[in-house]
């Protein structure tokens, strides 16, 4: 029987790893559909961002209570799952509590894991209350209608279940140790700090019944962890993994500085100094801005996959708060949805087949793009330094420079800037004339 269970366990583990690797490969391919963008400067500052933003979750602590709760959920869940290594080895080797030979150190570590498990459980319960009872505004925005809201609640409930299974498994295990039942009697760890309080609830059960509960919790816990791992690519919780590379590749230039196109800068230079203009026409047509995900950089696409859907960007957006259609969170979610659709198209056809859709208009409207004030508040608020603003600017650039599509007021300003080098309808000489009148 033990051998059969080992074979089943190894088969489940192998399938979970294979399926996860397959999805990771798809996501990596989708990200690489974007334009090339060299980001390899100031490596010391980039590693500092990883430590502060991804590991330390520095920006989360702008709201201290929420920051602490989120840190407990994140750090607790990761640390507790160190025990998964023992569960994996137990399953592969057919052992029970393989590392219990460490004695007091082992008991101390499991005690720490139990405390963290309880804190994770309590924090997730509080987050569920905030979302579904207190109905915090940014967590109940129309952006999250449908699957996004279900996804968030499902993950919180899953974490509560996993932590409860962990505590119940330990409670049954230590009670069976006390009774000297089977292989449990061969492993003496002593009671654990929290699960021992479950003993009064469990003591009335027979030893075979306790073993059944303990084994069920063991299997559900590890299968739940593996299922969670393979659910990540379909969930906003993919940020658990991608927050780290995204923090590393985040922008280091001064806040609010826009990335100008070299070709446009040269046009201005040549207008002011015609002698520098090249005599030969460019060999390739320059594309301005972005219409679809293929026109965005790979970093923009990594941003889309890294979005936590927390809504801090939209809550800080002045356009959104005054009732405009723009929601930076929705910009990222729609970019991710479009990229997912493109990936599915490639999977189905072997290459991308034109689907008569694009990120612009089919997923993100002109009204949303034009409402942006470029204040950079969304980037400043994002816990992992995602930049919805960069995507907005590139799509607006496409509208203006590829389609000549802009409000009349903008076109007047563009024309004046081109002819008079300023937004106003006055030549440089006329603009200076006021000095003589002073």
Q: What is the pLDDT of residue 369?
A: 96
Cα 376 to Cα 255: distance, rounded to the nearest angstrom: 7
- Tell me, what's the pLDDT at 218? 92
Structural contact between residues 171 and 202, judged by C-beta atoms closer than 8 angstroms: yes
How would CATH label the architecture of 262-273+288-427? Orthogonal Bundle (1.10)
* Contact residues for 100 (Cβ-Cβ < 8 A; gap 6+): 106, 187, 188, 189
% of the chain surpassing 90 pLDDT: 59
Residue 280, classed as helix, strand or coil, is: coil
Q: Work out the end-to-end distance of the chain between its first and last CA atoms, rounded to an integer number of angstroms.
A: 99
What average pLDDT does this structure show over 207-212?
Answer: 95
- What pLDDT band is residue 420 in, cutting at 50, 70 and 90? confident
Instruction: Convert the pLDDT of each residue in 302-355 to its tens digit.
Output: 999 999 999 999 999 999 999 999 999 999 999 999 999 999 999 999 999 999
Q: Could you give the percent of the chain with pLDDT greater than 70?
A: 97
Using the structure block, give the residue that is written with the tokens 């949303």: 368
Q: What is the Cβ-side half-sphere exposure of residue 3, based on CA atoms within 13 angstroms?
A: 0
Residue 276 phi/psi, 5-degree rounding, is -90, -10
How would residue 284 be classed by pLDDT, with cut points 50, 70 and 90? low
Question: Which pLDDT belongs to residue 216?
Answer: 95
Q: What is the pLDDT of residues 382-415, one digit of tens each?
A: 998 899 999 999 999 999 989 989 888 888 888 8
Task: Please state, in angstroms and rounded to a whole number, the distance separating the CA atoms of residues 9 and 260.
Answer: 54
Q: Is residue 77 over pLDDT 80? A: no
Question: pLDDT at position 171, please?
Answer: 95
Answer whether 202's CB lies under 8 Å from 169's CB. no
**CB-based burial label for 120 (10 Å; 0-12, 13-18, 19+):** buried
Q: Residue 35: what are its φ and ψ, rounded to 5°? A: -65, 155
Give the span between the Cα atoms of 346 and 349, in whole angstroms: 5
Neighbouring C-beta atoms of residue 298, cutoff 10 Å: 18
Beta bridge pairs of residue 364? 360
Alpha-carbon span 3 to 6, nearest angstrom: 5
Q: How far is CA 181 from CA 103, 173, 206, in A?
A: 20, 10, 10
pLDDT range class, residue 57, cuts 50, 70, 90: confident
Q: What is the pLDDT, as a whole number, of residue 281?
A: 65
Domain ranges in the chain? 2-31+63-237, 262-273+288-427
pTM here is 0.86
Which is more confidently placed, 63 or 256?
A: 63
Which whole number is the average pLDDT over 253-261?
76
């Amino acid at each position: 029987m033990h051998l059969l269970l080992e074979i089943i366990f190894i088969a489940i583990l192998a399938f979970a790893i294979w399926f996860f690797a397959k999805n990771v490969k798809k996501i990596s391919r989708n990200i690489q559909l974007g334009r090339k963008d060299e980001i390899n400067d100031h490596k010391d500052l980039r590693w500092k961002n990883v430590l502060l933003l991804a590991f330390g979750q520095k920006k989360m602590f702008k709201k201290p209570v929420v920051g602490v709760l989120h840190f407990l959920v994140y750090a607790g869940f990761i640390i507790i799952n160190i025990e998964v290594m023992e569960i994996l080895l137990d399953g592969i080797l057919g052992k029970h509590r393989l590392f219990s030979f460490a004695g007091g150190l082992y008991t101390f570590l499991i005690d720490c894991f139990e405390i963290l498990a309880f804190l994770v459980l309590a924090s997730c319960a509080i987050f569920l209350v905030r979302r579904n009872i207190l109905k915090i505004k940014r967590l109940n925005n129309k952006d999250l209608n449908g699957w996004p809201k279900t996804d968030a609640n499902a993950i919180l409930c899953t974490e509560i279940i996993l932590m409860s299974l962990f505590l119940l498994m330990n409670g049954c295990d230590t009670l069976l140790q006390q009774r000297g039942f089977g292989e449990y009697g061969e492993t003496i760890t002593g009671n654990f700090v929290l699960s021992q309080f479950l003993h009064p609830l469990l003591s009335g059960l027979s030893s075979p019944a306790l073993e059944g509960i303990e084994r069920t919790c063991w299997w559900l816990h590890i299968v739940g962890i593996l299922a969670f791992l393979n659910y990540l690519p379909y969930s906003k919780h993919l940020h658990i993994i991608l927050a780290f590379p995204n923090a590393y590749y985040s922008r280091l230039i001064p806040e609010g500085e826009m990335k100008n196109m070299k070709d446009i800068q040269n046009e201005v230079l040549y207008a002011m100094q015609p002698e520098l203009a090249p005599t030969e026409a460019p060999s390739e047509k320059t594309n301005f801005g972005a219409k679809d995900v293929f026109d965005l950089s790979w970093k923009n696409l990594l941003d889309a996959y890294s979005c936590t859907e927390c809504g801090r960007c939209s809550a800080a957006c002045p356009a959104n708060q005054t009732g405009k259609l723009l929601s930076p969170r929705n910009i990222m979610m729609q970019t991710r949805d479009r990229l997912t659709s493109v990936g599915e198209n490639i999977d189905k056809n072997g290459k991308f087949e034109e689907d008569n859709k694009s990120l612009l208009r089919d997923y993100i409207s002109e009204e949303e793009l034009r409402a942006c004030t470029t204040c950079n508040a969304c980037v400043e608020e994002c816990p992992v330094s995602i930049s919805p603003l960069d995507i907005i600017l590139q799509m607006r650039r496409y509208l203006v420079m590829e389609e000549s599509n802009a409000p009349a007021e903008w076109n007047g300003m563009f024309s004046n800037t081109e002819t008079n080098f300023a937004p106003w309808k006055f030549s440089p000489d006329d603009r200076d004339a006021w000095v003589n009148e002073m």
